[in-house]
Amino acid sequence: MQLPSHPPSSLPSTDIRTADTSRTPPRLNTFLSQLQPNPETVVLLLAVLVGLGAGVGVVLFRFLIHRMHGLMFGDVSSTLSIWGHWTLALIPLLGGLAIGLLRWWIKDFGPGLATLIEVVQGSRDVLLLNPVIKMVTASISLGSGASLGPEGPSVEIGAYFSLLLGQALRVSQERRKLLLSAGAAAGLAAGFNAPIAGVFFALEVILGTTFVASTASVVLLAAVVSAWIAQIGLGSQPAFALPAYEVRSLLELPLYVGLGLLASLVSLIYVRGLRLSQRCFQGKVNGFRWLAKIPQPLHPVIGGACLGLVALKLPQILGVGYETVEAMLQDVQFPLQLVVALLVVKLILTAVSFGSGFVGGVFAPALFLGASLGSIYSKVLALSLPMLHEYMASPPAYAMVGMAAVLAGSVRAPLTAILLLFELTHDYRIVLPLMAAVGLSIWLVEYLHPQVVIDNTTKPEPAETDPEEPAAPAITVAEAMQTAPFKLAGEVLLLAAAQQLMARRVHGALVVEADEQLVGILTLQDINRSMLRAKTEAEVQAQLSLPIRTLCTTKLVYAYPEEPLSEAISRMTTRGLQQLPVVLRDQPQQVVGLLSQSDIVLAEDIARSREILQRHYPGKLEPALVAELESVGLERIDLEDVQSIKIPLSQFGIQSLESKASEFQEQPIEEQPVEVSTVRKTAE
């Protein structure tokens, strides 16, 4: 009997697909497997390749933006200008129309950076065309005047290339995450010509608390190579021509603290504005529900029309806006009312561009807002407190510090913001004001709204579900933990415990008393440390004769069966733990299981497989069958465990065995339930 080996052809295609491990390994992967070079050499080689790919991708991306901008605001604009100045408003509208048509044709422009991190954690693949689609759509958006920036797509281009390289070489999940961080760092380094800031962006935003010292070398190498390629293709000048910072008095430092306070408020409004704009275009906000009735491909047209109409009065808000930022940094005298208008309008139209579906990043608008805020702050201080004029630096200094403070509060990456401005100015004297403003800004943002971050804002909101349809439950610790972990009695001697751990090939054991009360955890590392402390043979023998209750780790971090698995993972990650004992919340000494990293991976894979099966094969698995299989447990299921489980042949898409009888030279028989073991043997 032959089981169906492929899903129905009616299944929808997806942009992120599960990796197919049955494919023939690529030639490069086969070559490396035969050569078997040093693993560290391979990682450094991959870092160089990621840097080269990201650098070339960013150079090509900037070239496309330049050509698209010249086409839209040069050729097209001059052609339309014969009908009057008002035709400037048509340029963003045409760009929105192009993006809308592409969205109607392609449907999805590919995941953003936050989703790419989830892709790595889920061991899924990205499509080869994803970086090309992102590059083209972002070039059209920015070239036609969308109020977004190029750095976000630059980071994603580097991240895409690194993931595609990891897919080609079939590297492990840990290596894929390392390559992702290297690609993101390379993209930011090439975008700003600031490799150090790129490195710290990857360490802060992507790796977080999970990076180790060896990781930094890989990320740094990729960032340096990418910045080098970008300098060859785009020139060695930094993103901004910044003036020299002038220190007039240390008494000025408290003024930067006030700027940091205002920057935190602007950051919060900026991030919440992006989220609000998304919700408005999805029809989830009262007064804007009519937008949900308009087809999504037309949303960029609406956004482009808004941009074009406002640009007739304030053309500075169009596009990336670096020319306006650089003018502020060069102390070009803008009227105070104009700078205030630019700050407010840029904030609103960036949210409109983002929510309507234009493709671009949120770094450049944050820098624009920060420069405007710093300029306003300096002008207001000079007008309201003229006695401070002799102690104050020039307005460009406040604009520079404002850029870093708003950027840090928006992306939650303070070190990245500080080092970015330091790399752009090459002046260590600005570090102290930067630290004062950025430190206060990030602290207030975290204190006021710890959950609102730019990384979550760039992720599309999940679609609304039918309230009558049950939501997929979160994985609990009880579903993932080992229910029968290896235990050792507290009176067992260290020598016997070491022999049992090595014989069972396990990392550690729970130490319990006779009444099953938890005492602690004993690991091989505990045993090794105990033995290494002994200086003489007599001390070694004394250590081996000690009961393990005196040597095990007793200050434990616990997990509870009913809590979400994500909370336990956060606890393990924060403290760098490999396993957690699971105890009852009201009886912390009553151990009920053990949760390890491998258990977490298994539980997440099972949940993901169940979700995929339910999505693509709705109703194919009987609830009774699923319940009976789950009752066996998440450990290894032998054939003897499922001998009594009956599965109708229709569950496998087989209506009758009669059509298959000739293949086995058997007589036709009527359909009847068969055992799982029979199905497996026949399928083989």
Q: What is the pLDDT of residue 365?
A: 92
Q: What is the pLDDT of residue 654?
A: 45
Of 293-307, 612-626, 666-680, minimum mean pLDDT range: 666-680
> pLDDT tier at 523 (50, 70, 90 boundaries)?
confident
SS3 label, residue 653: coil
> pLDDT tier at 211 (50, 70, 90 boundaries)?
low
Averaged over 543-549, what is the pLDDT?
87
Report whether 112 contacts 138 (CB < 8 A). no
Give the best-scoring range by mean pLDDT among 7-16, 58-67, 391-400, 427-436: 58-67
pLDDT at 406 over 80: yes
Return left, alpha or beta for 8; rule: phi > 0 is left, psi -120 to 50 is alpha, else beta. Answer: beta
Q: Which two tokens stand for residue 35?
A: 């050569």
Q: What is the pLDDT of residue 246?
A: 67
Please name the residue that has the structure tokens 């180790």: 212
Q: What is the pLDDT of residue 574?
A: 59
What are the pLDDT digits (tens) for 169-189?
A: 777 777 788 888 888 888 888
Alpha carbon distance 51, 223 (integer Å): 6
Cα dihedral sign for 447, 453, 457, 462? negative
Alpha carbon distance 75, 77 (integer Å): 6
CA 461, chain centre distance (Å): 14
Which domains, from first to last, does the chain contain?
37-234 (1.10.3080.10), 250-295+309-457 (1.10.3080.10), 477-603 (3.10.580.10), 632-683 (no CATH)
Alpha carbon distance 561, 62 (integer Å): 52
What are the pLDDT digits (tens) for 62-120?
A: 999 999 999 998 888 888 888 888 888 899 999 999 999 998 888 777 777 777 776 66
Report whether 529 contacts 496 (CB < 8 A). no
Give the best-scoring range by mean pLDDT among 191-205, 238-252, 262-276, 445-459: 262-276
Q: What is the pLDDT of residue 465?
A: 40
Cross-strand pairs, 566: none
DSSP labels for 553-588? B-S---B-TTSBHHHHHHHHHHHT-SEEEEEETTEE
Largest CA distance in the chain: 105
What are the pLDDT digits (tens) for 131-155?
A: 888 899 999 999 998 989 888 889 8
- Report which of 359, 356, 350, 352 is spatially closest to residue 298, judged by C-alpha positions: 356
Per-residue DSSP letter, 206? I
Alpha carbon distance 58, 504 (integer Å): 52
Report whether 311 contacts 354 (CB < 8 A). no
> pLDDT tier at 264 (50, 70, 90 boundaries)?
very high
Q: What is the pLDDT of residue 124?
A: 64
Report whether 222 contacts 183 (CB < 8 A). yes
Type and span of the H or E element at 511: strand 508-512
Q: What is the pLDDT of residue 650?
A: 46
Report whether 315 contacts 386 (CB < 8 A). no
Alpha carbon distance 66, 462 (integer Å): 34
The pLDDT mean for the chain works out to 77
Tell me how crowded residue 651 is: count the other CB atoms within 10 A of its CB.
14
Type and span of the H or E element at 211: none
DSSP labels for 590-633? EEEEEEEHHHHHHHHHHHHHHHHHHHHSTT-S-HHHHHHHHHH-
Residue type for 549, please? R
Helix extents (H) in 385-522? 395-411, 414-425, 431-448, 454-457, 477-480, 494-504
Alpha carbon distance 378, 629 (integer Å): 68
Per-residue DSSP letter, 642? G
Averaged over 532-556, what is the pLDDT?
84
Q: What percent of the chain has pLDDT over 90?
A: 17
